[in-house]
Amino acid sequence: MNIKQRLIIMNFLEFFVWGSWLISLGGYMIVTLKFSGGQVGSIYATMGLASLLMPALFGVVADRWVNSERVLGACHIIGAVLLMWASTVTDFQTMYILMLLNAMVYMPTIALNNAVSYKVLEKFGFDIIKVFPPIRVWGTVGFIAAMWIVDLLGWTLSPIQLYVSAASGLLLGLYAFTMPPSPPSKTKGSGSWMSALGLDALVLFKRRKMVVFFVFAMLLGAALQITNTFGEAFIHDFGSTYPDSFAVQHPGLLMSISQISETLFILTIPFFLYRFGIKKVMLISIFAWVFRFGLFGIGNPGSGLPLLILSMIIYGMAFDFFNISGSLFVRKEADSSMVASAQGIFMLMTNGIGAFLGGMFSGMVVDYFTSDGAKDWPSIWFTFAGYALFLGIIFPLVFKYKHDPAAVQDVSH
């Protein structure tokens, strides 16, 4: 087996571990464990809390002391134990603690997976920019495959989804130790600490344009967390009115259309970013979120199924046009000496602070529109759509940016 195939397996498993529960766990906790919206939101917010510090901390460990593949493997093995434990508990407090600890060891693995891939490809003399994207796309395939397996085997409302994640995490943990060594760089001096923690890129906040951009990246990161948390729970609530519908019987398959759409919209980013610039692309993303939530508000698994499917398709544009395009924009705006740390700040704002706020406040909204256990889903989704619409009105007024096609083309290629 050549090294590219081995990296494909590693990337596939990396996101298979996450896809086994990320979309379906909310439904399990609400329908089976009877947790409140606020409780479910707070558990999903643990990923944001973990992303505030842990990826940078483990990055320092891998950069200075321990091989990256060993840190990656250890994190997944510990995470597998925590997920297996979480599958046995039914009370909120214990579940919260276990999922927080799991997030603390899983969230760093996304960056560690990339680091191992980069180092191995570089060691074997490959062009990283050319070779890595076709390898990384198998991560999304792994995420989709996990969703399909959990759904088709009827485990979306069962703790078995956590068994699946734990088993695949243990497999990946052991597999990571067999990868070619990715030793620490042993860089001396405080600069490596500053860079690893993203502190040297704080100079970007001296520019008003970047402050506005990062704030909106954070607010859009919150929007992403909303459907991850409550998408499947919403569909499961139609079980009594549309028990035989495709959506209710296979919510994971329906939700996976979002990830399939994501892989397709990635391919359109260079065109849109070059043709329209980051301001218009971000605006397209914001209004895509409006439609994403609004279509959920008027859709249903019966006659409204096409609206739900359309919402899934729009998700690809909503997510990619702010997440990947935003990453490219930050890369262009940051000095060459702080590219990595600037990306760290972008991830902190979206997957860290944004995800935390999205998990907490979306749970409050769900609880506000819940009466005697019944959730007013149209009001919930329209509230989220109104939130995105407000962002769409404010963003073009406060974000000042002049599009330069030549500069974007340089970054995109």
What domains, with CATH codes, occur in the chain?
1-180 (1.20.1250.20), 190-413 (1.20.1250.20)
3-state secondary structure 9-48: HHHHHHHHHHHCCCCCHHHHHHHHCCCCHHHHHHHHHHHH
189 burial (CB, 10 Å; 0-12 / 13-18 / 19+) is: exposed
- In whole angstroms, give the CA distance from residue 92 to residue 29: 9
Report the range out of 80-94, 186-200, 232-246 with the highest average pLDDT: 80-94
The pair of three-digit structure tokens given for residue 371, joined into one six-digit string: 């009466």
Whether the Cβ atoms of residue 179 and residue 10 lie closer than 8 Å to each other: yes
Higher-confidence residue: 351 or 124?
A: 124
Backbone angles phi, psi at 370, to 5 degrees: -115, 130
Rounded to an integer, what distance in angstroms lies between the CA atom of residue 77 and that of residue 98?
14
What is residue 413's predicted lDDT score, i.e. its pLDDT? Answer: 45
What's the rounded mean pLDDT across residues 105-113? 88
- How confident is the model at residue 405, as a pLDDT? 65
Write down the pTM of the prediction: 0.77
User: Which of these ranges, 24-33, 176-185, 196-205, 209-218, has the smallest mean pLDDT?
Assistant: 196-205
Tell me what percent of the chain is helix, strand and coil, each rounded to the nearest 5: 80, 0, 20
**54 burial class (0-12, 13-18, 19+ CB within 10 angstroms)?**
buried
